[in-house]
Amino acid sequence: METMTLKIEGMSCGGCVVSVTNALNRVGGVQKVAVSLEKKEAVVQGEGLQLPRLQAAVEDAGFDLGA
């Protein structure tokens, strides 16, 4: 299983965490998502993870990936 940690910009509440979690869970190959509001990041686990697909899901939910 692969693991990717994504910095997420723009999250400010629990609703944001739910939105990002749901968006990432819809991406093919994703098996587990843990989003932290405090760390402003998402840890994604799965098989065949592709950063462009994960980034698109985050952006479609209204957030941006940080550096």
Per-residue pLDDT at 3: 98
Q: What are phi and psi of 33, to 5 degrees?
A: -130, 130
pLDDT for 29 beyond 90: yes
Q: How far apart are the C-alpha atoms of 23 and 5, rounded to whole Å?
A: 15
Indicate the residue type of 1: M
Query: Residue written as tokens 């950063």?
Result: 51
| Per-residue pLDDT tens over the stretch 32-51 | 999 999 999 999 999 999 99
Strands of the chain, DSSP E: 2-9, 30-36, 41-46, 64-65
Percent of the chain with pLDDT over 70: 100
Domains of the chain are 2-65 (3.30.70.100)
Instruction: Give, as one character, the DSSP assignment of residue 10.
Output: S
| Per-residue pLDDT tens over the stretch 48-60 | 999 999 999 999 9
